[in-house]
Structure 1
Amino acid sequence: MIKRNYVRALILLLLVTCSSWPVKLLAGEEHQTAQPSEKIELQSVAHLMQLSEIRGVVTDTSGLPIPGVSIGIKGKTGVGTTTDQNGKYLLELPENSVTLVFSMIGYVSQEVLIGQKEQVNVVLKEASSQLDDVVVVAFGKQKKQDMVGSITSVSAADLKKNPSSNLTTALAGRVAGMIAYQRSGEPGQDNADFFIRGVTTFGYKVDPLILIDNVEVTTTQLARLQPDDIQNFSIMKDATATALYGARGANGVILVTTKQGQVGAANFSFRVENSVSTPTTDVELADPVTYMKLYNEAVYTRTPLGEIKPNTVLYSDEKIANTEAGLNPYVYPANDWRNLMFKDYAMNQRMNMNVSGGGGVARYFVSGTFNQDNGMLKVDNRNNFNNNIDLKSYSLRSNVDISLTKNLEMVVRLAGNFDDYNGPIDGGAEMYRKVMRANPVLFPATFPKGPEQQFINHIMYGNFDSGNYLNPYADMTKGYKDYSTSTMSAQLELKHDLKYLTEGLSISAMMNTNRYAHFDMSRAYNPFFYTLNGYDRFNDTYGISNVNEATATEYLNYQPGSKNVNSAFYLQSILNYNRTFGEKHGISGLLVYMMRQQLDANAADLQLSLPSRNLGLSGRATYAYDSRYFAEFNFGYNGSERFHDSQRFGFFPSAGLAWSIS
């Protein structure tokens, strides 16, 4: 490299000298007049000669090379490099007397004074324990040993062990004091309900406040968050930890921060999972013969005087015997509705890809996710549509950090979640409830086509009497429902280090806008219902007749569903101070202003169409002595337009003391 610098300097000097000759000849000047220009060029050569190179290898304590280590010059920005796959690096230095900083996530940073050295090999020590010592708290981070409030962290590695595309189902049993339960396993309806240390009634909410990158989100947005994108996951449980959020944090707070880019070469990660879903349990049902016997017994025991009400169905001994003998299943049906309508399992797929990296000026983390969750409903191939549950979820996330100056950093976060759903009109859970209520012996699910029905183009569904009985198979296969949901978020943050005013002082501002849109629709035909109208026992033939020809259709009808659009705007500014005096006295202070506004486009009246606004001012002050004795005071002063002018604001203070015995 030094030789190349000499050649570059000589070529530059030659070009400048040659380019000056025509000017000198035309001006009639002598050769001596070019001496000042030559002096300037020689100074440039001398400056180029000051550049030097430093190279070396970075390894861990076991001697293995570490790729992606960030190497920079202390006190200077824009100059740096990273180690390659073999742990090697090469850096051009503007001067010899510099200090290089070697840093890598998971390792202790190291500073080395170069001097006149041309090669420096560095051994980095692991610092994995340091990652566990820091916990994300309200509007900041604290060391575990300095915490006064009750906060529990869940590692992203533990969340990845959850064999589901729904993150909320991974919380059950992982956090003391948190109760989580899942009401349904149906894709799209499988969000877990959870509460922390009991329930309050503010705003009729029972679930905790959920924040992703300090912005309030819904349970569904948390459910769609991928473990691969999570950096920290904290659950705040007591008043000391949640006081800064005021009344909104009355049920506890779940605070999640997503990953950000680190200085180094591009790092790709790709994960593919395939899972099988099966019912956890099935309710045991009586077989058709037992059903009829118990039904008759129930009718008689409820009419001890033998007064059977008109139109009461009783099963004859002949029907019971022929059903038990397995005679013609269309005349003596014995439906196992659950087996007719549900499969034994469903296959699900999950894919995630992310890339991160960057340099001294900009760092990036970009990820994309695709999940497909399927239901266990069967599809009738005589239809040309799919009535089974098929939920496709797409997620995109981009976090970009830009160092505008030495003390000013800008963070741009973009995120989008998109759901496309196809399934039965009434939903999978309702289909199961209909199976549990349906009569298994009155009629078959469908009748086959006979010679008289060979030109019929529709499915002949079974029914009884006038066709008003529940046929769950017809309800499942008569049509399908689609819905689409989109949630998009854009966030801009500015962080300014004010250490040039006083050590430990910083200020930050954040603005976020969120857009949500949902619509659904259904398409279905009116089923043709047929009933049995005669049976020839000797020839084993039967007749059927249609009971709703006037209202049934062979084409799909369109039914529009709900449409919902809303937007939210969030603004936050933070003044933070954190400093240690005399190695034993740690003092920190935090002041936060926040404002949130939400607008619903589907409001039913003028009052509901007005924006919903919340304002808040929160603060925290902490003191630590010798990392053993701790005191903390928090407050939240929050206001909401839900209340009368005289009662809109509330003050929510908390205080705590702690003593580390060890």
Structure 2
Amino acid sequence: MNKKWTNRHFFLNAMFMIPGFFLLCYPVFAQQTVTGKVTDANNGEPLTGATVLIKGTTIGTVTDLDGSYQIKTSTPDDVLVFSFVGYLSQEIKVADQTVINVALKEENIQLDELVVIGYGTVKKKDLTGSVAVVSAGDITKSPLPTFTQALQGKAAGVYVAQTSGKPGEGISIRVRGIGSINRSSDPIYVVDGIITGNLNSINPNDIETLQVLKDASASAIYGADGANGVVIITTKKGQSGKPKVSYSSYGSINRTPKKLKVMNASQYADFYNTILAEKGITEFAYSDEFRQKYYGNGWEKGTDWQDQITQKAYAQSHYLNVSGGTENSSYSISGSFYDETGILRKTGATRYNLRANSDFTIGKILKIGETFNLSRMSYQNIGSQTGNAWQVSTITSPLMKVFNPNNKGGYEGPQIPFEYEPGVFYNNTGGNDKTNPRAELDLPDFRSFGNSFLGSIYAEIKPLSWLTYRIAPSFDISNGRDKNWLIKYDLGVRSNNRASLAENYYEYIGLSLENQIIANLSFGKHTFTGTLVHQIRKNDSRNISGTGYGFNYESLDVLSM
């Protein structure tokens, strides 16, 4: 009997222990970390921002600046999908691998398309360098204010990141990653043959094609300037035929991001009352009686500072183009207006653009033309004297009111004595001395203005069917002004005791003269193209700034000698 019972007991125990053993062991061989690097199959360079996804799931990651990645898989049967814009995707089964390195190949399409490389053009099928091509349709598919934003996700090997949330600002472009730790990693930009840095002056609707030269062979003609890549922009030109008029417009509303959860006034007061009571301290500023008399209606919830620093944000864009031409001439004229209001109070951007170009063929050997772009930009910014407004709004006391008509400037400030009874005063915010973030946004007036004038003319002579000489002088002129005006105001312990004005004026003039001789010979199925280029560039930049304090008459916010 005992032996039979023992066997049954052992059998029952085994039935429960074996599944438990597998459950304990499952995480050991179920969780597996896979690392590796994603590179370009042509040159071995890392692909920044490539996507690594577990097939059939939403679990994934992206590669860093070195092309490296790390992802946790669930089972050895998982399949990793590697993809990047402009490249063919690859799928690899994990199995028992912990390191998977992948080289992606570029996707070859539209092989007869002409690609601008340096000072010439070539069919894509004959191209030996690495060039990414973005068409006008790709750029204008999404309504965006600048072409740099429109470039995001459109070109293989080009990393575009927004570095600032300010309207009209903050875009960083990297071609094939970071090329130097000592020098700038920005590529150079060539607009209709003119090297320029005025990126915001280009309206995306004016762009016909955009090419990114990514390797040394494609950008060699630009020398050291092209070490970090070259972005070549060709704007739209008129076509022969009747005049064409096109108009486009869009509007958008920007919503406030999800707010951080913070305590309201009652929760805040209860928290401090509890902490202080443990130490035997009483702070009347946190009592219901004081808060009700000081704050008035709404004293239970107090002030939501995240709501106070935001505003209704919108953007609008209008674009008008007139183009046309004849058999021997063409023209294109466009004008645009863009206006954006930021989510954060006192932020915004406005841009006006006017662009014109024309081409004329005179006789059989002469062709002349010009292109001009005029733009005016203005920005409204915030002050930096209080740090990050979003962060400050989460730590300012919700017990404090927003406005105080008795203070200079009209806003309430922290740790201001409030008369609770005749002759009896208590601090309005207790121990919190953080400033009024709305006042710090509304009271200063920080603005920037910029003008740019970009233009070139050219003459092209073709004495022989295979020989062309081209001369093209160009200019890049810009100037601007920054004005930071801060009045005197009362904000308790965060008051500004004197008005100040800081102004900065800058101007830049860049001149260039370019000469080209182009030979294009065909021998049966063979083609020989040679380009000889001579370019002279000269630039001059000046900057002057000044700061003044005091200002007995704040309505006269100007600097004087």
What are the residue-to-residue correspondences of 1:217-228 with 2, within 5 Å?
217-218=196-197, 221-228=198-205
Residue 146 of structure 1, CA deviation: 0.6
What are the residue-to-residue correspondences of 1:250-399 with 2, within 5 Å?
250-279=227-256, 281-287=258-264, 322=288, 329=295, 334-343=302-311, 345-378=312-345, 388-399=346-357
What are the residue-to-residue correspondences of 1:487-506 with 2, within 5 Å?
487-499=452-464, 503-506=465-468
Which amino acid is the alignment partner of residue 314 of structure 2?
Answer: M
Distance in 1, matches of 2:240 and 2:193, equals 24
2:517 to 575, 582, 602: 575
Q: Per-residue displacement from partner, 1:461-505 (whole Å, max 9, x unpaired)?
A: 232159975221221121322321001122111111232xxx322
Distance in 1, matches of 2:359 and 2:332, equals 9
Q: Per-residue displacement from partner, 1:79-119 (whole Å, max 9, x unpaired)?
A: xxxxxxxxxxxxxxxxxxxxxxxxxxxxxxxxxxxxxxxxx
Q: Does 1:195 align with 2:174?
A: yes
Distance in 2, matches of 1:427 and 1:273, equals 36
2:210 to 233, 238, 256: 233
Distance in 1, matches of 2:265 and 2:171, equals 36
2:441 to 476, 483, 492: 476
Q: Is the 8 A contact 1:333 1:443 kept in 2?
A: no
Match of 1:133 in 2: 113
2:475 to 505, 513, 516: 513
Match of 2:369 in 1: 411
Higher deviation after alignment, 363-372 or 587-596: 587-596
Match of 1:159 in 2: 139
Distance in 2, matches of 1:296 and 1:593, equals 77
Match of 1:660 in 2: none
List runs of 5+ in structure 1 lacking aligned partners.
1-128, 301-305, 309-313, 379-387, 532-546, 605-662
Match of 2:36 in 1: none
Q: Per-residue displacement from partner, 1:620-660 (whole Å, max 9, x unpaired)?
A: xxxxxxxxxxxxxxxxxxxxxxxxxxxxxxxxxxxxxxxxx
TM-score (norm 1): 0.57
Distance in 1, matches of 2:215 and 2:290, equals 62
Q: Per-residue displacement from partner, 1:173-229 (whole Å, max 9, x unpaired)?
A: 22221111102221132x3101011222397111111111121111xx323322221
Distance in 1, matches of 2:176 and 2:276, equals 48
Distance in 2, matches of 1:323 and 1:369, equals 58
Distance in 1, matches of 2:225 and 2:275, equals 53
Q: Is the 8 A contact 1:460 1:530 kept in 2?
A: no
Which amino acid is the alignment partner of residue 477 of structure 1?
Answer: D
Distance in 1, matches of 2:390 and 2:281, equals 25
Distance in 1, matches of 2:301 and 2:348, equals 31
Q: Does 1:176 align with 2:156?
A: yes
Q: Is the 8 A contact 1:234 1:255 kept in 2?
A: yes
Q: Secondary structure at the match of 1:446?
A: coil
Q: Does 1:602 align with 2:543?
A: yes
Match of 2:532 in 1: 591
Distance change in 2, residues 1:432/1:340 (3 Å)? same
Distance in 1, matches of 2:457 and 2:111, equals 26
Match of 1:211 in 2: 190
Q: Secondary structure at the match of 1:498?
A: strand
Q: Secondary structure at the match of 1:228?
A: helix
Q: Secondary structure at the match of 1:473?
A: helix
Q: Is the 8 A contact 2:190 2:230 kept in 1?
A: yes
Distance in 2, matches of 1:299 and 1:134, equals 75
Residue 160 of structure 1, CA deviation: 0.8
Q: Secondary structure at the match of 1:135?
A: strand
Q: Is the 8 A contact 2:378 2:450 kept in 1?
A: yes
Distance in 2, matches of 1:530 and 1:603, equals 35
Q: Is the 8 A contact 1:419 1:484 kept in 2?
A: yes
Match of 2:98 in 1: none
Residue 528 of structure 1, CA deviation: 2.6
Residue 346 of structure 1, CA deviation: 1.1
Match of 1:77 in 2: none
1:485 to 447, 450, 461: 450
Match of 2:379 in 1: 421
Distance in 2, matches of 1:293 and 1:249, equals 62
Q: Is the 8 A contact 2:355 2:372 kept in 1?
A: yes
Distance in 1, matches of 2:536 and 2:391, equals 44
Match of 2:226 in 1: 249
What are the residue-to-residue correspondences of 1:29-178 with 2, within 5 Å?
133-178=113-158
Q: Does 1:525 align with 2:487?
A: yes
Distance in 1, matches of 2:368 and 2:301, equals 70
Q: Is the 8 A contact 2:376 2:452 kept in 1?
A: yes
Which amino acid is the alignment partner of residue 366 of structure 1?
Answer: I
TM-score (norm 2): 0.67
Q: Is the 8 A contact 1:332 1:441 kept in 2?
A: no
Distance in 1, matches of 2:123 and 2:151, equals 23
Distance in 1, matches of 2:385 and 2:136, equals 32
Match of 1:444 in 2: 401
- Structure with larger Rg: 1
**Number of aligned residues:** 421
Residue 245 of structure 1, CA deviation: 1.2
Residue 423 of structure 1, CA deviation: 4.5
Residue 446 of structure 1, CA deviation: 2.1
Residue 439 of structure 1, CA deviation: 2.1
Distance change in 2, residues 1:328/1:316 (3 Å)? same
Distance in 1, matches of 2:385 and 2:238, equals 41
Distance in 2, matches of 1:297 and 1:495, equals 83
Distance in 1, matches of 2:328 and 2:489, equals 65
Residue 360 of structure 1, CA deviation: 3.2
Distance in 1, matches of 2:229 and 2:289, equals 58
Q: Is the 8 A contact 1:163 1:275 kept in 2?
A: no
Q: Per-residue displacement from partner, 1:272-323 (whole Å, max 9, x unpaired)?
A: 11112224554444555666677899999xxxxx9x9xxxxx9858765739
Match of 1:564 in 2: 506
List runs of 5+ in structure 2 lacking aligned partners.
1-108, 418-426, 428-432, 546-561
Distance in 1, matches of 2:273 and 2:373, equals 60
Q: Is the 8 A contact 1:419 1:485 kept in 2?
A: yes
Q: Is the 8 A contact 1:150 1:236 kept in 2?
A: yes
Q: Is the 8 A contact 1:490 1:512 kept in 2?
A: yes
Which amino acid is the alignment partner of residue 493 of structure 1?
Answer: Y
